[in-house]
Structure 1
């Protein structure tokens, strides 16, 4: 309590001192054509050292400015420079909002100045920011995908083509914090992780941090992916539509005016696959032609929906409402009836059956953000949101039979069903304070309060009637797991400019989960030294804790769904320590080069004991046991990453290389092993080439060394005898084939290689514009190996292989073949 009072007095007195002699210049920078906030714009006072870049909301604040006359310069690559003269008086605050026009050609001087300021100000290590334009320029499977774009960065692995799940620097997908406008999304995938659930047309930018992230991010130990949605056009109603081979998308946006003091913007977008509707249409035509009814329907579709509303209340308040929904739906319905008649026996039977099989999984997130400019130096943000992921499988059926014989009539009916479900819901309130304490110190602090609801269960039921008599009635709940933990997070951070060449950012995040007995403290530290104007070195160290995990098999090849569970009582929270050292170089042609080395130490990792799960019979029926039993593990990873990025000119893109090692050890094992996602070498080349006549070429090339797997080295036969019978005894001989496994993950798949090419052409029309695109995935038609299947070979007795007959043969299961795709995008 004493420390809090002392800090308050220091801040209060310092504020008075600076307020009496200095002024602040602040405001927002937006694009003039759309009103969208512009991030990383350089706003500075010409001829001085005073300046600041805009943040993701377009906000800038230049504080502690002495009295005098200045020229404000606003510059950014691709936009016309704005200059404005300002007379500043001591102790006053001045707000200037700027609207920037797009420039056909950005001057070299402006480009270098803007990029250099961003290069100097950022202390974030291992970061990369995607624009919507760069995401849509990367050739994609069926359509552009933000998570698949991230897969092309150094340090990021994906174990197969059939998943967009990310393995970052030796971590697993459940260790990545994926957010949309600051709200966590627990399963950001469609169709078993083949597609991400984010509509790229609604994305303004995507920020990815592979490690060493600051204290404002918590409850994950791996990486951070924050998807920032567009605010919406502030000047006029606009829209775009996109039709690809798999889905159709539409997005609308426009201004909002409630009163003179309450204005804003809105954006609404949606996407849906249409294979089911096309199938129904073809069915309808076939039925009309043939005259026969066809009940077969395409059983699957997915959709997602985004909505964002911004309300500016006066000059200092802004409220943002966010909604995000996405679902996958598999639905199959069965109907059948038939009858038999035997006149010679005077018998008749009628049978009718029906049933439905439904699988549904998806996300839902709703949130409200309140931003308050308490002063030019103090910004307060409040987040209140609910986010949840759930999946359920529901199967039910009915059967009825009517039997008539000469002296007997019988009616029977059976109803049965089965459902299983998993549900995780997070309710959270967060408040953060960003305070410019002095010209050299920027303080960030805040707290999170979270309430979780986990529900994993299974139900089995059935009823059987003979005539009108209920013959049997069964209801069982073999799985019923519910948890409701609370979490509390507090954090504080100071960004300190020690001198013009040395910058430091240190912070502390303290957290407690009610399943744990104490608070856990996560200190984090970043330092940056400017060796020259264009060359810097960075170092980051930090501790990270995580209180939830997934109950997925550790060696799964296809990550279809995540089953989320809290870290149970008796287990310590998952922990990682990040160590990162790197160098950055800003080249004169607006190119960027980075080399980083990292070492990560993992403690208290949890791995599901799948072999311990049993089904036991109790008084209330069968019950699943040991579902939430995990074994502890530890791991470490290290690597070297190189990134070269070019962001302007006719040729843009990046080249990334990574050398990575990850090893893991189980608590009940005595050997270290390479997990399935260990990959030694990775090379990614991503390029965008501007051609003539609004034609653009995009290409990606990926080469990776093979992932490990556990080989099958042979097979043995297990014989056993079954004896039965009463007066007449019998003996049956059974043979069971058992595969012999080699050492865990001791073999590796062949190397991975894939080349994708895309071409896009844009045309302007009086009503707007349209752009067609054509992508070819896996141009070289290399069939990369996903996994192997093993079979007992069939051979004739006289065939001899080096004197021995093989006991097992493996066959590869390939990933994507060559796949062309095309689509059209309209803007109006």
Structure 2
């Protein structure tokens, strides 16, 4: 533990530094929603000191002289505000602003929050999406965060049946998905068709396609960091939604000064309604999300988050004899504490328990469960001084894995339990060297129980401004992952009940990936932003296993792992535009992904060479909003049937030759591709408002042109030549929804 002692020494030295001058810091909030406003301009009237707030609305003004000062805050789209403060020597004050949103129409250049972020920070392979963007996107029955991310050029969806994300050649088990700083193991319903995140409770979601800070642990490919809303502090708010699939109720309210809460619940109702017309639908899911938030003395904030998603499938005969019973879902308990220590310094602590449980029972003969429990603590210290922003942290994580398959309670096919821990320390920082150059750096130290050495993962990022509107970026980073999953090597309903997680055993090194990214960012106008990135991901070591390997090696499951080498490379272009209430983007990506299989590099089933996406949200007359999403891409690889042969067998008793049926002759692994994928979705919405009550109607049509996108082929070999049939993905799917709030 020598490295932790050294890290704590450095941390204690940094935290002991005092700023012997007066300072003011605080947050800027929307007066109506009580939500932080990012990237506001805060400055001293008739002075030289000023600051642009960060993405959380926090600002800090240091090295202020004694006496009276007038603080001013402004940002496009909000009213300005001023506050006076009298400072004494070595004084520190917390001053928050609450400003009101106003309609604007301006000519000339606007300094928007996105433009301020472009000027003051590095955002390599990063996008942030607000709740409104999820609500306006075309909906597959329900608004869905993951479905929006699938429209990004960095992301590939394996099929219409899955909202899992394949990011720049990485598989879904390499994505870190967080909710309020805590991991969610499998955030999907209906075998992956919908995600578990109910959008009323979501404030924003931050997505990293690569090059992410080292504060994010134990994943190789990408990060989806979802933040829940901060409940209202001085009022109440109720939202109800209903679609053809589910109903949802969301409530947020103040309890007393400084203490507020929200609770959100969603449940499908087909299993309750369809029996009324003599049709049985033995599946349902529900989500419960809640948060209690407490602010004390303006500088201490504590919140507790509860997240529960559950799926249930039960097949029986006349409700008496159970045939199949399936339950799977997530549980999360997360406690977050943050404290503003002094100007530009703060402390944060997260304690969490996160689990994913999957149980399976077939007529009480075949029984199985896959359980993972993760317990974690994260301590972070933030410092911001002049042009430097730093984050120092310690993580401690304990995992518990339990994977079990048995037949008739007498024969165990798989029985595996493991409980490794990981202890980590990290540093992330950025420094604005000048108006032309911003540097970013990070390093992470991991001690995994089943490995003897300490893993060191560095990260560096650079941003160089060629002009006020044009910048070049570069990032190089290394990541490690200490868990893996049971995989399928084709796309036939892969991971339909979620990932089945396993730890990296002591016989193996952890999985590793090296990201190299270079890019360009350009504001063509204040309304049009263009970005392009080249990337290369090198996987010098990956591990996975299959169900068959676990059964074969049931006596020694540590021998069931398959090691390989993989890599991906490509480039992406994205054009984003916002004009008044209209917005959208066009994205294109070229990519190539390969992994080593039987001494030959082959394509995984989710490799997509070309991928083109377009989204558009447009206001129409009569207060109607129109949204569309268009996707065109290369078909996925598959192993084709290229021939057949008849099997015969000899019957000793009759002394005759019998017909043993047909066997298929297969091509090389994934040497063929399905036809190109095409889909157009549209959505219309209209909001009606009466006093404090509003009602929103939504009509969405998925695959409006009814394109037949092939999922797989199957064959009838009883005729010659054999006849091939297509199993296609979603046909045209209309859906309606209604939402009300007050």
Fold-level match, TM-score > 0.5?
yes
Greater Cα shift, 107-116 or 594-603: 107-116
| 1:776 aligns to 2:701 (yes or no) | yes
1:78 aligned residue: 77
SS where residue 639 of structure 1 aligns? strand
Quick one: which of 409, 412, 415 aligns to 1:477? 412
CA deviation profile, 1:99-151 (whole Å, cap 9, x unmatched): 12111226457842543322122212111111111111110111211100000
Quick one: which of 406, 409, 414 aligns to 1:459? 406
Instruction: State how far apart, in whole Å, the 2-side matches of 1:765 and 1:30 are.
Output: 26
Offset of 1:33 from its aligned partner? 1.2
2:561 aligned residue: 630
Offset of 1:628 from its aligned partner? 6.4
CA deviation profile, 1:414-445 (whole Å, cap 9, x unmatched): xx544210001100011000013x42322210
2:599 aligned residue: 670
User: For 1:554-569, what aligned pairs fall within 5 Å after superposition?
Assistant: 554-559=489-494, 560=496, 561-569=498-506
Unaligned stretches of 5+ residues in structure 2: none
2:534 aligned residue: 597
CA deviation profile, 1:374-422 (whole Å, cap 9, x unmatched): 21222110100000001101244xxxxxxxxxxxxxxxxxxx5442100
User: For 1:784-795, what aligned pairs fall within 5 Å after superposition?
Assistant: 784-792=709-717, 794-795=719-720
1:645 aligned residue: 576
Aligned residues: 737
| 1:754 aligns to 2:679 (yes or no) | yes
Unaligned stretches of 5+ residues in structure 1: 284-295, 337-352, 397-415, 462-473, 617-622, 796-805
- Is the Cα–Cα contact under 8 Å of residues 309 and 321 in structure 1 kept in the other structure? yes
Instruction: State how far apart, in whole Å, the 2-side matches of 1:723 and 1:27 are.
Output: 89
CA deviation profile, 1:575-613 (whole Å, cap 9, x unmatched): 000011111122433332111111110122124255545
| 1:319 aligns to 2:302 (yes or no) | yes
Offset of 1:371 from its aligned partner? 0.7
SS where residue 602 of structure 2 aligns? coil
Offset of 1:650 from its aligned partner? 3.4
User: For 1:118-137, what aligned pairs fall within 5 Å after superposition?
Assistant: 118-137=117-136
Offset of 1:332 from its aligned partner? 2.5
1:539 aligned residue: 474
Shift of the 87–639 alpha-carbon distance from structure 1 to 2, 3 Å rule, reads farther
| 1:433 aligns to 2:381 (yes or no) | yes
1:496 aligned residue: 431
Shift of the 46–542 alpha-carbon distance from structure 1 to 2, 3 Å rule, reads farther
Offset of 1:48 from its aligned partner? 6.3
Greater Cα shift, 203-212 or 714-723: 714-723
- Is the Cα–Cα contact under 8 Å of residues 38 and 113 in structure 2 kept in the other structure? no
Shift of the 270–658 alpha-carbon distance from structure 1 to 2, 3 Å rule, reads same
Offset of 1:648 from its aligned partner? 4.1
| 1:827 aligns to 2:728 (yes or no) | no
- Is the Cα–Cα contact under 8 Å of residues 554 and 607 in structure 1 kept in the other structure? no
| 1:551 aligns to 2:486 (yes or no) | yes
| 1:661 aligns to 2:592 (yes or no) | yes
1:264 aligned residue: 259
Offset of 1:57 from its aligned partner? 4.1
Shift of the 77–256 alpha-carbon distance from structure 1 to 2, 3 Å rule, reads farther
SS where residue 647 of structure 1 aligns? strand
SS where residue 271 of structure 2 aligns? helix
2:389 aligned residue: 442
Taking structure 1 as the reference length, the TM-score comes to: 0.85
SS where residue 63 of structure 1 aligns? strand
- Is the Cα–Cα contact under 8 Å of residues 487 and 546 in structure 2 kept in the other structure? no
- Is the Cα–Cα contact under 8 Å of residues 112 and 588 in structure 1 kept in the other structure? no
Shift of the 225–108 alpha-carbon distance from structure 1 to 2, 3 Å rule, reads farther
Quick one: which of 580, 604, 614 aligns to 1:685? 614
Shift of the 624–776 alpha-carbon distance from structure 1 to 2, 3 Å rule, reads farther
Instruction: State how far apart, in whole Å, the 1-side matches of 2:177 and 2:506 are.
Output: 26
Instruction: State how far apart, in whole Å, the 1-side matches of 2:45 and 2:546 are.
Output: 64
SS where residue 600 of structure 2 aligns? coil
Instruction: State how far apart, in whole Å, the 2-side matches of 1:265 and 1:163 are.
Output: 36
Instruction: State how far apart, in whole Å, the 2-side matches of 1:90 and 1:683 are.
Output: 59
Offset of 1:525 from its aligned partner? 0.5
Instruction: State how far apart, in whole Å, the 2-side matches of 1:164 and 1:9 are.
Output: 44
Instruction: State how far apart, in whole Å, the 1-side matches of 2:334 and 2:12 are.
Output: 35
Quick one: which of 486, 504, 520 aligns to 1:583? 520
Offset of 1:95 from its aligned partner? 1.8
Instruction: State how far apart, in whole Å, the 1-side matches of 2:513 and 2:488 are.
Output: 21
SS where residue 531 of structure 2 aligns? strand
In angstroms, what is the RMSD of aligned CA positions?
Answer: 2.5
Shift of the 610–393 alpha-carbon distance from structure 1 to 2, 3 Å rule, reads closer
Shift of the 570–439 alpha-carbon distance from structure 1 to 2, 3 Å rule, reads same
CA deviation profile, 1:160-213 (whole Å, cap 9, x unmatched): 111001000010000000111111111110000000011011111111110000
1:153 aligned residue: 152
- Is the Cα–Cα contact under 8 Å of residues 605 and 670 in structure 2 kept in the other structure? yes
Offset of 1:7 from its aligned partner? 4.5
Instruction: State how far apart, in whole Å, the 2-side matches of 1:297 and 1:563 are.
Output: 29
- Is the Cα–Cα contact under 8 Å of residues 180 and 334 in structure 2 kept in the other structure? no
SS where residue 119 of structure 1 aligns? helix
Greater Cα shift, 424-433 or 76-85: 76-85
| 1:810 aligns to 2:724 (yes or no) | yes
**Larger radius of gyration between Structure 1 and Structure 2:** 1
2:137 aligned residue: 138
- Is the Cα–Cα contact under 8 Å of residues 112 and 590 in structure 1 kept in the other structure? no
- Is the Cα–Cα contact under 8 Å of residues 660 and 681 in structure 1 kept in the other structure? yes
- Is the Cα–Cα contact under 8 Å of residues 511 and 521 in structure 1 kept in the other structure? yes
Offset of 1:627 from its aligned partner? 8.7
Instruction: State how far apart, in whole Å, the 2-side matches of 1:733 and 1:533 are.
Output: 80
